[in-house]
Amino acid sequence: MALENLRETLDAAQAMMGERLGAFRPEVGLILGSGLGPLAERIADPIFIPFGEVPGMGVSTANGHVGRFVAGELGGKRVLAMQGRLHGYEGYTAQEVAFPVWLMARLGAATLVTTNAAGAINESFRVGDFCIMTDQLNFTGRNPVTGTEPDAMAPRFFSMLDAYDPSLRQLARQTAEALAIPVQEGVYLGLLGPSFETPAEIRMFRAWGADTVAMSVCEEVIAARHVGLRVLGISLVSNMACGVEGASPSDEEVHEVAQTREADFCRLLEGILQAM
């Protein structure tokens, strides 16, 4: 289902955010996923705007998602960070999930860095690894660009070749190497959720070429590419996917692992921003 009066709602959201941000114009949009929100506390001279105050925005209900924009400087860049995100499993439509990405683009961001916690399908990955997304499999069954209103914002048909920008991926690898933070690379598969995957589904996803799996990101990336944003995606491997090495994922495990990797995650993301 589409968001009613999408462009009018984006106009209202842009006007409201513009008033709150004043002369601030973001260079980079940053989405902080499950357990990764503490990075926003490092943003200098922050401006806080709760999602619920923005016309058209939903409110985060996911565990650990603060549910606010944080604008300011991080890694020498002007960033507009989402401390938490919206998910389809919370009851939001694909366009409602994508809405803040379109809004960031309107406010001036030319690049989107999206992060999340994910399960490892690739058995060579380990819990606690960071993984640079090389491509995605959208298995949510949804696309935010369906309908007529997104077609008026940007062309309806657009290429998803190199959806995750190759130069940004290279920059992330080089930054990780310079900081002595090991990283993996792989294809990300996004699901609607909220139930975790079955072992049979994980075996199928592995056969499709997926390396990691979670319940976010894909609709955001489609929306970003729709309006021409460059995209970098980074996952924290918070668990082995269901059935891999006998794993049975839980929400608690995701947040526990994120706490142990917080320092390196902050170093990595700030280093990437500095190198952009």
Q: What is the pTM of this model?
A: 0.95
Question: 65 labelled as ligand-binding?
Answer: yes
Residue 1 lies in a domain: no
Question: 216 labelled as ligand-binding?
Answer: yes
CB 77 within 8 A of CB 276: yes
Question: 255 labelled as ligand-binding?
Answer: no
Rounded to the nearest 10°, the torsion over CA 49, 53, 54, 57 is 110
Q: For residue 1, what pLDDT is reported?
A: 45
d(CA 13, CA 100) in angstroms, rounded, equals 9
Residue 37 lies in a domain: yes
Closest CA to 71 of 33, 35, 100, 34: 100
CA 168 to chain centre: 15
Question: What is the CATH number for 266?
Answer: 3.40.50.1580
Q: pLDDT tens for residues 135-184?
A: 999 999 999 999 998 988 999 999 999 999 999 999 999 999 999 999 99
Place of tokens 């947040």: 255
Token digits of residue 185: 């690379």
Question: 34 labelled as ligand-binding?
Answer: yes
Place of tokens 């926003």: 40
d(CA 210, CA 206) in angstroms, rounded, equals 5
Question: 239 labelled as ligand-binding?
Answer: yes
Peptide bond into 55 cis (omega under 30): no
In sign, the C-alpha dihedral spanning 175, 131, 142, 3 is negative
Residue 66 lies in a domain: yes
Question: 86 labelled as ligand-binding?
Answer: yes
Question: 197 labelled as ligand-binding?
Answer: yes
Rounded to 5°, the CA angle 116-119-184 comes to 75
Domains: count for the chain: 1
Residue 271 lies in a domain: yes
Q: How confident is the prediction along the chain (276 residues), in pLDDT tens digits per residue?
A: 456 689 999 999 999 999 999 999 999 999 998 888 889 999 999 999 999 999 999 998 877 778 999 999 999 999 999 999 999 999 999 999 999 999 999 999 999 999 999 999 999 999 999 999 999 999 999 999 999 989 889 999 999 999 999 999 999 999 999 999 999 999 999 999 999 999 999 999 999 999 999 999 999 999 999 999 999 999 999 999 989 988 888 777 777 888 899 999 999 999 999 999
Residue 189 lies in a domain: yes
Question: 176 labelled as ligand-binding?
Answer: no
Token digits of residue 11: 């106009």
> Which range of residues forms the domain containing residue 153?
6-275
Q: For residue 32, what pLDDT is reported?
A: 95
Question: 192 labelled as ligand-binding?
Answer: no
